[in-house]
């Protein structure tokens, strides 16, 4: 049993997991780490250094220089950064270099919320609350397309859908920590839900997990 109340929120791109994680952080008064930003930062740093994204050693070197303040860079939120992230995320030694940052965050007094692809399976396998948030590729592409438009990044819906499908295949098909639900994760399909409904459903799932965790201590 963990001493920290860690909430693991995994799922594919634009499933709503980020908004859900933020809502859970507020509801349970816990800090939130969007681990996708770590991979986005490594992808962007590797690219800016003029290195090949397929070069594991170069991407690992970028991961080792990463600092928390670099995660604030708005360039990490772009469509291009998502693609760069999923390319460097296939490297086992990049993932290994990002472990300590994530473990330190997870082991804070009181606990933490982490969202990503492998939180419930690899980073925090003992987390007392695990969610795997999904939605159909079409629904996710529509959400991401609206979000990118809101950020001033005009792009065709079909292109966003193609990005999502490519990223799902790469993230789910890689050897190192592939995206998949932990056996004990609760699946939450948000395809037919508003973001408020999804956040409410997530909160109820975590309240039940928290009650179980407290009674087992
Ligand atoms: O969640 P987000 O879309 O920002 O993640 C960007 C990419 O980073 C993902 O497509 C995935 O390849 C990678 N990632 C990962 N493991 C995590 C979080 C993100 O491999 N825990």
Give the angle 183-11-30 at the CA atoms, nearest 5°: 90
Predicted structure pTM score: 0.96
Task: Write down the domain spans for the chain.
Answer: 5-215
Residues above pLDDT 90, as percent of the chain: 94
| Residue 1 contacts residue 217 (beta carbons within 8 Å) | yes
User: What average pLDDT does the segment 163-168 reach?
Assistant: 95
Residue nearest ligand 1's atom 13 by CA? 86
Contacts of 12 (CB under 8 A, 6+ apart): 117, 134, 140, 164, 167, 168, 171, 172, 179
Span from the CA of 113 to the centroid of ligand 1 (angstroms): 16
User: What average pLDDT does the segment 72-91 reach?
Assistant: 95
User: What average pLDDT does the segment 145-168 reach?
Assistant: 94
Span from the CA of 38 to the centroid of ligand 1 (angstroms): 8
Q: What is the pLDDT of residues 11-57, one digit of tens each?
A: 999 999 999 999 999 999 999 999 999 999 999 999 999 999 999 99
| Residue 15 contacts residue 137 (beta carbons within 8 Å) | no
| Residue 127 contacts residue 1 (beta carbons within 8 Å) | no
What pLDDT was estimated at residue 4? 87
Residue nearest ligand 1's atom 21 by CA? 116
Sheet holding 32-34, edge to edge: 32-34, 111-116, 5-10, 129-134, 186-189
CB-facing half-sphere around the CA of 91: CA atoms within 13 A: 24
What pLDDT was estimated at residue 184? 97
**C-alpha to C-alpha distances, 117 to 13, 17, 123, nearest whole angstrom:** 9, 10, 10
Which of 44, 15, 48, 7 has its CA nearest to residue 171? 15
Strand partners, 32: 113
Could you say which of 3.40.1190.20, 3.40.640.10, 3.40.50.300, 1.10.8.350 is the CATH number of the domain covering 5-215? 3.40.50.300
For residues 28 and 66, what is the distance between their CA atoms, to the nearest angstrom? 28
What pLDDT was estimated at residue 142? 96
What pLDDT was estimated at residue 202? 98
Q: Which of 117, 119, 164, 176 to mutate to test the pocket of ligand 1 (most atoms within 8 A of CB)?
A: 117
For residues 33 and 77, what is the distance between their CA atoms, to the nearest angstrom? 15
The model's confidence at residue 217, banded by pLDDT at 50, 70 and 90, is confident
């Amino acid at each position: 049993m963990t001493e920290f109340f860690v909430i693991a929120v995994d799922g594919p791109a634009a499933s709503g997991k980020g908004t859900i994680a933020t809502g859970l952080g507020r509801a349970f008064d816990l800090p939130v780490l969007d681990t996708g930003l770590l991979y986005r930062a490594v992808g962007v740093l590797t690219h800016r250094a003029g290195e090949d994204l397929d070069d594991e050693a170069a991407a690992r070197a970028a991961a080792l220089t990463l600092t928390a303040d670099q995660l604030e860079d708005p360039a990490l939120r772009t469509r291009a950064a998502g693609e760069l992230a999923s390319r460097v995320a296939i490297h086992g030694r990049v993932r290994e270099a990002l472990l300590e940052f994530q473990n330190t965050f997870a082991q804070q007094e009181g606990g933490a919320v982490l969202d990503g692809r492998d939180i419930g399976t690899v980073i925090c396998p003992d987390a007392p609350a695990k969610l795997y948030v999904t939605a159909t590729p079409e629904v996710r592409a529509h959400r991401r397309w609206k979000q990118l438009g809101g950020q001033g990044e005009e792009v065709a819906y079909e292109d966003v859908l193609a990005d999502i499908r490519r990223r799902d295949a790469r993230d789910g098909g890689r050897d190192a920590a592939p995206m998949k639900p932990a056996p004990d994760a609760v699946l939450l399909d948000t395809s037919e839900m508003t973001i408020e409904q999804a956040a409410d459903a997530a909160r109820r799932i975590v309240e039940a997990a928290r009650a179980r965790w407290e009674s087992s201590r």
